[in-house]
């Protein structure tokens, strides 16, 4: 199903959000991990971390689905400080309830494989995909400090979930969207190590497979952004050893992590990922990307000129190669690579299941994920859409929602 489906009109670097659509579910309450402060596991502003939790039931009572929220990264003191009065940097400003939909949904007909699992959504308030670990807070002004403690947040929330019953898990999935999808990859083997050896444990990344792609000037300007994140947050101490030998920031590109991961991984991503087109291929830090023509193109690839589309298609080829030479090396891994101009797709109930669900080879995404996790097919689901545009049944290019 090769098409353009613009799901992100905002290219703000700080807002890589998860859209959660409720599916006739009761509000899910937030859990503030107050005791995490004892171990220094705090959000950017020093407040305790948080998550949403809904109990499993029936045959799913010992199964766990953990989804890590997205929200971009902050790579400078200024950008991190701008999060202090928001839910991206403080649990004080987080909503007290949420609705679960899509992959997290609790209605059997809308989420057949996972509706009765223990379902957790980890809130994101550290700005570095839960990798930071700096001992001393950084003073911003007379009244505010910044704490870079993402890894400690991860450890504290996992410890609490273990106490809630995850230590007895029979099946478990660690997933996430965007920066949370990257977190799911970076913490995947750590997650597996926490759980019983006999448990079935796998990881899923939705729009978290950020590639080290070439930008419009044939350089890798995204390296500088990730390098600043790693340096500011002290992430080098916590990143997987296999990917940080030369440049620690390369760990933020999953193609250098996935090839050595031991835990099975499933990717849900687009080679035309709207965030990656707007920030890796054509970042607005480049003068050439600031033109109206490129701004229109990166917001909607249907508006790309023939020459621009050639560049976008070359980026698509880089993405496919990064999947095949990275995650593709492990025969246990699977992937659902569609060609929507989209970012974060599994939290939308409409995308997950039903007449308008994402499909590859006539297989809806929920079934592709379930078949892979439960080994219901002889080989892992691995499908990559042909290049855009090749399918006349695509949704209207003018129909869009925010991601």
What is the set of active-site residues? Answer: 178, 273, 343
Question: Where does residue 232 rank: exposed (0-12), middle (13-18), buried (19+ CB within 10 A)?
Answer: buried
State the Cα–Cα distance between residues 302 and 109, nearest whole angstrom. 35
Which residue do the tokens 């970076």 mark? 186
Full 3-state SS string of the chain: CCCCCCCCCCCCCCCCCCCCCCCCCCCEEEEECHHHHHHCCCCCCCCCCEEEEECCCHHHCCEEEEEECCCCCCCCHHHHHCCCCCCCCCHHHCCCEECCCHHHCCCHHHCCCCCCCEEEEECCCCCCCCCCCCCCCEECCCCCEECCCHHHHHHHHHHHHHHCCHHHCCEEEEEEECHHHHHHHHCHHHHHHHCCCCCEEEEEEECCCCCCCCCCCCCCCHHHHHHHHHHHHCHHHCCCHHHCCCCHHHHHCHHHCHHHCCCCEEEEECCCCHHHHHHHHCCCCCHHHHCHHHHHHHHCHHHCCHHHHHHHHHHHHHHHHHHHHCHHHCCCCEEEECCCCCCCCCCCHHHHCCCCCCEECCEEHHHHHHHHHCCCCCCCCEEECCCCCCCCCCCCCCCCCCC
Q: How far from 221 is each of 71, 245, 286, 321, CA to CA, in Å?
A: 20, 20, 9, 19
- For residue 253, give every residue at least 6 positions away whose Cβ sits within 8 Å of its Cβ, in sequence order, or none: 210, 211, 212, 226, 322
Biggest CA-to-CA distance, the chain: 61
């Amino acid at each position: 199903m090769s098409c353009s489906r613009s799901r992100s009109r905002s290219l703000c670097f700080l807002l890589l959000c998860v859209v959660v659509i409720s599916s006739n579910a009761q509000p899910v309450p937030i859990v503030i991990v107050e005791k995490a402060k004892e171990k220094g596991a705090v959000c950017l502003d020093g407040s305790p971390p948080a998550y949403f939790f809904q109990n499993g039931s029936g045959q799913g009572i010992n199964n766990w689905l953990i989804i890590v929220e997205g929200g971009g990264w902050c790579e400078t003191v200024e950008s991190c400080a701008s999060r202090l009065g928001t839910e991206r940097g403080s649990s004080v400003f987080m909503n007290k309830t949420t609705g679960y939909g899509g992959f997290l949904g609790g209605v059997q007909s809308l989420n057949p494989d996972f509706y009765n699992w223990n379902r957790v959504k980890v809130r994101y308030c550290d700005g570095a995909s839960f990798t930071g670990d700096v001992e001393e807070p950084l003073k911003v002004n007379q009244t505010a400090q910044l704490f870079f403690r993402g890894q400690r947040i991860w450890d504290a929330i996992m410890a609490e979930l273990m106490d809630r019953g995850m230590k007895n898990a029979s099946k478990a999935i660690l997933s996430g969207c965007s920066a949370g999808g990257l977190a799911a990859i970076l913490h995947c083997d750590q997650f597996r190590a926490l759980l019983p050896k006999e448990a079935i444990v796998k990881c899923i990344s939705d729009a978290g497979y950020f590639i080290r792609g070439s930008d419009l000037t044939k350089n890798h300007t995204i390296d500088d952004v990730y390098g600043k994140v790693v340096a500011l947050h002290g992430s080098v101490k916590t990143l997987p050893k296999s990917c940080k030998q030369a440049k620690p920031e390369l760990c933020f590109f999953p193609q250098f992590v996935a090839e050595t991961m031991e835990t099975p991984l499933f990717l849900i991503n687009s080679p035309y990922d709207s965030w990656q087109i707007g920030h890796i291929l054509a970042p607005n830090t480049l003068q050439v990307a600031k033109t109206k023509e490129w701004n229109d193109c990166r917001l909607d690839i249907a508006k790309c000129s023939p020459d621009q589309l050639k560049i976008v298609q070359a980026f698509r080829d880089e993405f496919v190669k990064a999947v095949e030479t990275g995650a593709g090396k492990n025969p246990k891994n699977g992937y659902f690579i569609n060609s929507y101009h989209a970012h974060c797709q599994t939290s939308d109930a409409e995308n997950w299941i039903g007449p308008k669900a994402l499909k590859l080879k006539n297989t809806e995404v929920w079934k592709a994920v379930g078949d892979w996790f439960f080994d219901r097919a002889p080989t892992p689901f691995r499908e990559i859409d042909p290049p855009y545009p090749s399918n006349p049944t695509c949704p209207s290019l003018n129909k869009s929602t925010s991601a």
